[in-house]
Amino acid sequence: MTITIIEDWCKGCELCINRCPTSSLEKSKDLNKKGVYPPRLKEENECNFCRLCELICPDFAITVTQEAGEERVQKQKLILGGVAR
Ligand code: SF4
Ligand code: SF4
């Protein structure tokens, strides 16, 4: 999974930072074209790729992308998790 942030689309509302369930996002150090600090992934983060940041961003500035082959692995994990319980 990859998180892509289009920095110049961000208006700095910080919704993504405040709502990330794993506190994986922080303000970057550089201003964007709108004069605000867009989010970035913390260097050490526990992002679980829940996609909440992508869904919550009012300006569509964040995209969480799944690489080819990852979906199958994720589904296998879910199935195995179900069996283990
Ligand atoms: S939710 Fe979107 S607009 Fe708001 S800070 Fe995050 S990236 Fe920027
Ligand atoms: S995908 Fe989920 S865990 Fe990862 S940065 Fe976005 S909101 Fe946080």
Give the residue extent of every domain in the chain: 2-84
Q: Which of 46, 77, 47, 51 is nearest to 63 (CA)?
A: 51
Residue 63 tokens read as 């995209």
The dotted CATH code for 2-84 is: 3.30.70.20
Assign 27 to helix, strand or coil.
strand
**83 Cα to the center of ligand 1, angstroms:** 38
Q: Rounded to two decimals, what is the model's pTM?
A: 0.84
pLDDT of res. 82: 52
**3 Cα to the center of ligand 2, angstroms:** 8
Residue 61 tokens read as 């500035």
- At residue 26, φ and ψ (nearest 5 deg) are -145, 165
Atom number of ligand 2 nearest to Cα 50: 2
Instruction: Assign 85 a pLDDT band (cuts: 50, 70, 90).
Output: very low
Pocket of ligand 2 contains residue 50 by CB under 6 Å:
yes
Residues 17-76 have pLDDT tens digits of: 999 999 999 999 999 999 999 999 999 999 999 999 999 999 999 999 988 877 665 555
| Ligand 2 binding pocket mutation candidate from 41, 47, 65, 70 (most atoms within 8 A of CB) | 47
Separation CA 29–CA 51 (nearest Å): 23
Separation CA 38–CA 31 (nearest Å): 7
